[in-house]
Amino acid sequence: MQLSTTPAQDGFYFPAEFQPVSEVWLAWPERRDNWRDRALPAQRTFANIANAIADVTKVCVAVSTKQFDHARELLHRDVRLVEIPYNDAWMRDIGPTVVVNDAGERRGISWQFNAWGGEFNGLYDDWQHDDQVAGSVCDIIGIDHYRAPFVLEGGSIHTDGQGTLYTTEECLLSPGRNPDMEKKQIEQQLKQYLNIEKVVWVPKGLFNDETDGHVDNLLHVIAPAKVVLSWTDDPSDPQYQLSREAEAVLKAQTDAKGREIEVIRLPLPGPLHYSDVEAQGVESSDGMNRRAGERLSASYANFLIVNDHVFLPLLDDSTDQQAISILQQAMPGYCIVGIPSREVLLGGGNIHCITQQIPA
C-alpha cells in the first residue's frame, strides 16, 4: 500500500548497512547498450555475486521473462527469481530504501527515478519501468511504502543509522535531479523521508562517475563516525584533489551525535580503462558511451555490508590485497569476501550499486 504520510511523521528512520539485514535484492543485467557481448559476461559476474551473498542471507533477483531460464541456470537453487519489468539492473538506485521503527516494523521508500539526470544528462530515454521497481519490491516483500516527491537514487546516500546522512553536492544538486529545489529544501526532504538529523555534504564524488558522483562510489560508512574514503597519492591523478577535498570536509565537521568523523584512506585500483575489446562489445546508444581508453570509475568503497560480511569488488591484482588488509584492520569482526567484478564496473558501477539490502 502507498502511504500519504512521511517516515519522519510515522517514526521510521533509515538504518545503517552494518545493522542486521534480512535479504538482498539484485536485478539481472541484459541491456546490450550497457553490458558487453549480449550481457553474458556481466550475467556470470552478477550470478557469482548473488550466489556469494546467498551463503549469508536470502537473495532475490528480479528478472525478465525471456532471461528467466538462463538466470535460473547460473544462480544457486536457494536464490529466488521474481519477474518484474525494469530498464537496467542497478537495484541500489531503482529498488526501495527501507526504513524501520523501534518496534521492528519496516516500510519502503520509492524515490522518483529519471535514469541519473532525466532530459538534462540521463543515461537512457525510457526509465518508466525502473521508476516502478521500488513499489513492486515492497509489494513482493509485503511492506507498505512511501512515494517521495523528488528524484533520488539509493547510491547517492549513506547513513550511520544514528541520524547522520552522507551525500555529495555534485549529485544531489545536479541540474538533472531536482533543479527547482535549493540545497536547504533538499535537506528538509531528506529529513522528512529518512528521519535523519544532519546531512554531511561532500563536494564531489569519484572522477568520471556517470551518476554525477554517487557517494557510494567514493566512501562507505563502516561504523558510527567512521568512514573509508577512496584515495590516491598520485598528484597527477584527477582524483587526487577530489579525495583531499572530501577528507577535509569530513574531518572539519562532526556527525549528528557530535562525534568527530574518523576517515580511513582506501587506495584506488588502477587507474583502470576500457580496453578495445570491452568497448567494441557494447551496442552504441545516445546516453551511454563506452570508448576504448576511457577511465573507469573504479573504487573499492563500492562494497556491500551484510551481517558481518563485506562483499568487496576485486579489480586490480596490484591493489586488491592492500584494500582487503585495510578493510580487515578497520572492520576486525567482519569476514571480507572478495569477488572479481570488472564486468560490473564496465557497466558503470560495482557491487554496492547492483544490490539493495532489506533490513531485518
Catalytic residue IDs: 353
Angle at 23 between CA 306 and CA 331, to 5 degrees: 5
Measured CA to CA, the distance from residue 84 to residue 293 in angstroms comes to 35
Measured CA to CA, the distance from residue 281 to residue 343 in angstroms comes to 12
Which residues, 6+ apart, have CB-to-CB distance to 308 below 8 Å?
333, 334, 335
Measured CA to CA, the distance from residue 316 to residue 323 in angstroms comes to 10
Which residues, 6+ apart, have CB-to-CB distance to 209 below 8 Å?
217, 297
Closest Cα partner for 67 from 48, 51, 81, 53? 81
Neighbours of 153 (CB within 10 A): 27
